[in-house]
Structure 1
Amino acid sequence: MSYILKFRDIGVGDLGLVGGKALNLGILTVAGLPVPPGVVVTTEAYDQVAGALDLGAQAADPAKARELVMRAPVPEDIAAAIRRFGDVPVAVRSSATAEDLPYASFAGQQDTYLNVIGGDAVLDAVHRCWASLWTDRAVAYRSANGIDHQAVKLAVVIQEMVQSEIAGVMFTANPITGRRREAVIDASPGLGEAVVSGAVNPDHFVVRDGRVRERRLGDKRMAVRSLAGGGVEQVATAQDAACLTDAQILALAELGGRVEDHYGSPQDTEWAIDAGGTLWLTQARPITTLYPVPEGPPGLRAYFCFSLAQGLTRPITPMGVSAFRMLSSSVSATVFGSPVADPRAGATAFHEAGGRIFIDLTSLLRSSLGRAVVPRVFDVMEARSATVIRGLFDEPEFSVTQRAKLPAIRRGLRLVWRFRLPPHAVQAIANPAKARLRVEQIGADLRARLPLPPGVTPLDHAEWLLSTQMIPLVPAILPAAAPGFIMLGLADRLLGAKAGPGEVQGVLRGLPHNVTTEMDLELWHLAERIRKHPEAAAALRDDPTGDLPPLVREALADFLARYGDRAVAEIDLGLPRWREDPSHVLGVLANYLRLEDSSLAPDALFARGAAEAESMIAELSRRAGGLRGRVVRFALGRARALAGFRELPKYYLVVALATVRELLWRVGADLAGHGAIERPGDVFFLTLPEARAGGDLRATVARRRDDYDRELRRRHIPRVLLSDGTEPEAVASRAPAPDGALTGTPASAGTVTGLARVVLDPVGAHLEPGEILVCPSTDPGWTPLFLTAAGLVMEMGGANSHGAVVAREYGIPAVVGVPRATESLETGQRITVDGTSGVVTPASQ
Structure 2
Amino acid sequence: MYTSDYTNTLKELNKDSLHEAGGKGANLGELINAGLPVPPGFVVITGAYRTHLEASNLKKSIEKMLENLKEQDIDAISEASNCISSWIEEAPMPLEVQEEVDRAFESLSKEIGADDNLSVAVRSSATAEDLPSASFAGQHETYLGVYGKEEVFKYVKKCWASLWSPQAIAYRISMNFDHLEVDLAVVVQAMIASQAAGVMFTANPVNGNSDEILISAGYGLGESVVSGLITPDSFILTKEGKVKEKTLGSKEFSIRLTEKGTITEEVPKSKRKLFCLGDDEFMQLANLAKLVEKHYGSPMDTEWALLGGKIYLLQARPITTIISDSENFNILGPEDKIIYQGKKAPFGLQSVMEHSTYPHTPLDFACFSHFYQGIYTSFADAGLKIPKNQNRPVERESGCVALSYQGPGLSPAIMWKGPKLLIKSLFQDNDILWQAFSKEISVWLKKMDNAVRDTKDAVGAVKLIEQALKEYEKLVYKRFSVISIPGGFAEYRFSKLIKKAVGKEKAEEYKESLLRALPFRTALQNKTLMKIAQTEALNGKDSIAFKNELKGFLDEYGDIGAGRMLSPNTWQEKPETIDEIIDALLCNTAVLNPEESFKKQEEDYEAAKEVIKKGLKPAEYDKFIKILEKLRKSVIIREESVFYLEKVAGVLHRMALKLGILLAKQGDILVYTSPIWTPLFKVASAAVTEIGSTTSHAAIVPREYGIPAVVAVENVTNILKDGQKIRVNGTNGIITLLE
Structures share fold, TM-score greater than 0.5: no
TM-score, length-scaled by structure 1 = 0.39
